[in-house]
Structure 1
Amino acid sequence: MKAVVLAAGKGTRLRPLTDDKPKGMVEVAGKPLLTHCFEQLIEVGIDELLVVVGYKKENIIEHYGDEFEGIPITYAHQREQKGLAHALLTVEEYIDDDFVLMLGDNIFRANLEDVINRQQEQRADAAFLVEEVPYEEASRYGVCDTNKYGEIVDVVEKPEEPPSNLVMTGFYTFSPEIFHACHLVQPSNRGEYEISEAIDLLIESGRTIDAIRMDGWRIDVGYPEDRDEAERRLQEEAEEESETGEGSETDEESEKASTETGD
């Protein structure tokens, strides 16, 4: 399955970290954000990367070249940042089957594979990883309304009065029908072509979109403090893995020593 990674934004809220580089090249725990994204996608079996670039695109292209850990990369240029639906249309010519869409400023430690598996079951036309947040925070995101079957029936972009506290996380699977919907989207009040509007058009046409609740964590690195929080989480995770690994090694060595001495 192919994955589309959106990395065209300027990252103005991350300044001064983005004064000389695109948002996707801001480092978190010693790696660019995009490296974290690519590694996570490879873990779930992605075999081709389509990266949408824009602001200071040369930094990304020169850093990664035409492949990442053996996975081919194709770049598409979004000349103006006019929203996610607009960005997605830049890769339309490269997609002819179900695919993953991932925002390039998120770090996940979550059940991404569950979303892909649901798409491959062919029960749904799309599947989204969604997260429950406090109601007072929901208005910062694209908010999902679901029915009793766990299907998404409405998506509202940054509503003043959220219909739920279930929000989109930036990890989706789609069939190619999403491109037709993106072509029909009209500019929002912000002057952007919103992916939420394209999703609503899919729903109105009778397509089924499943909500997969997140098991784990993710951080949308929108501000410098978000990067700090992501680094803290990753450091804690590394320390836990190190402690676990040391414990396992000690047990194995102890068992070996016991066998050799006959104890």
Structure 2
Amino acid sequence: MDAVILAAGKGSRLRPLTEDKPKGMVEVDGKPILTHCFEQLIELGADELLVVVGYKKQAIINHYEDSFDGVPITYTHQREQKGLAHAMLTVEEHIDDDFMLMLGDNIFEANLRDVVNRQQEERADAAFLVEEVPWDEASRYGVCDTNKYGEITNVVEKPDDPPSNLVMTGFYTFTPAIFHACHLVQPSDRGEYEISDAVDLLLDSGRTIDAIRMNGWRNDIGYPEDRDEAERRLRDEPIAADADSESGEGDASAAQSGE
């Protein structure tokens, strides 16, 4: 299974850490955020790393070149940062089967393997790792509703009045059907092509998207203090990145992150 990593953002909220580098190259516990992402995706079985770059892209390309730990890297360029659905279309020509998607500004110590395992079941069109957050934080993310079967029924991107406190965390699996949905997305009120709108189009077409409740933790590295918190957790609270089903696979919730 290939892995797509979205790493084109400017990371303006992370300044001064991103004044001379892209967000993915900010170090957390001694290595760039992207290195954490790559290591986990390879552990999950990634055959190829497809990295969407943009802001200060050459710093990423020069650092990793054409492979990481023996796994080939292909770079695609998002020339303007117009949202995650827009970024996704830059990798469309390279994907012809199910794939993993990770936002390249997240640090995970969680049950990512449960999401991959669910995608490999025949009935799954997509699976998302999701998290229940405090209500006052939900508006920072893509907020989801789920049904009694643990399936996502609706996603709203960064709503002023969240319909739930279940949010997408930044790790997903998809079939190539997501690309058709991304082509149909219209700009949101924020002027971006939102991945949440593409997900809703998948749902409208009758696709099944399963929500897997997160066991462990993740940090969305949006601000310098988030980097500091992730470092503290990595040093003090190690949890296997591929924790399996003792977490109870398939409980529903949902979320997204990223800038």
Q: Assess same fold via TM > 0.5.
A: yes
Q: Distance in 2 between matches of 1:190 and 1:163?
A: 19
Code of the residue aligned with 1:50 in structure 2: it is L
Q: Distance in 2 between matches of 1:140 and 1:226?
A: 14
Code of the residue aligned with 2:196 in structure 1: it is S
Q: Distance in 2 between matches of 1:170 and 1:122?
A: 23
Q: Does 1:231 align with 2:235?
A: no
Aligned to 1:7: 7
How far apart are 1:124 and its partner, in Å? 1.3
Q: Does 1:42 align with 2:32?
A: no
Aligned to 2:61: 61
The count of residues paired between Structure 1 and Structure 2 equals 240
Aligned to 1:175: 175
Q: Distance in 2 between matches of 1:46 and 1:204?
A: 30
How far apart are 1:96 and its partner, in Å? 0.3
Code of the residue aligned with 2:236 in structure 1: it is E
The SS at the match of 1:173 is strand
The SS at the match of 1:192 is coil
Matches within 5 A, 1:28-39: 28-39=28-39
Deviates more, 1:164-173 or 1:40-49: 40-49
The SS at the match of 2:167 is strand
Q: Which runs of 5+ in 2 are unaligned?
A: 241-259
Code of the residue aligned with 1:30 in structure 2: it is G
How far apart are 1:214 and its partner, in Å? 0.2
**Of Structure 1 and Structure 2, which has the larger fraction of its residues in helix?**
1
Matches within 5 A, 1:42-191: 42-191=42-191
How far apart are 1:237 and its partner, in Å? 3.4
Q: Does 1:202 align with 2:202?
A: yes
Q: Rg bigger for which structure?
A: 1
Q: Distance in 1 between matches of 2:160 and 2:92?
A: 32
Q: Distance in 2 between matches of 1:122 and 1:23?
A: 36
Q: Distance in 2 between matches of 1:111 and 1:123?
A: 20
Q: Which runs of 5+ in 1 are unaligned?
A: 242-263
Q: Distance in 1 between matches of 2:61 and 2:97?
A: 25
Q: Distance in 2 between matches of 1:160 and 1:18?
A: 28
Provide TM-score, normalisation by structure 2: 0.91
How far apart are 1:78 and its partner, in Å? 0.3
Provide TM-score, normalisation by structure 1: 0.90
The SS at the match of 2:233 is helix
Code of the residue aligned with 1:200 in structure 2: it is D
Code of the residue aligned with 1:116 in structure 2: it is V
Q: Distance in 2 between matches of 1:56 and 1:162?
A: 34
Greater relative contact order (Cα < 8 A, sep 6+) = 2
How far apart are 1:134 and its partner, in Å? 1.0
Spell out, residue by residue over 1:41-75, the C-alpha distance to the aligned partner (whole angstroms, 9 max, x if none). Answer: 11111111000000000000000010000010000
Q: Distance in 2 between matches of 1:88 and 1:231?
A: 29
Code of the residue aligned with 1:57 in structure 2: it is K
Q: Distance in 1 between matches of 2:21 and 2:138?
A: 30
Code of the residue aligned with 2:193 in structure 1: it is Y
Q: Distance in 2 between matches of 1:135 and 1:81?
A: 28
Spell out, residue by residue over 1:152-174, the C-alpha distance to the aligned partner (whole angstroms, 9 max, x if none). Answer: 00000111221111100000000
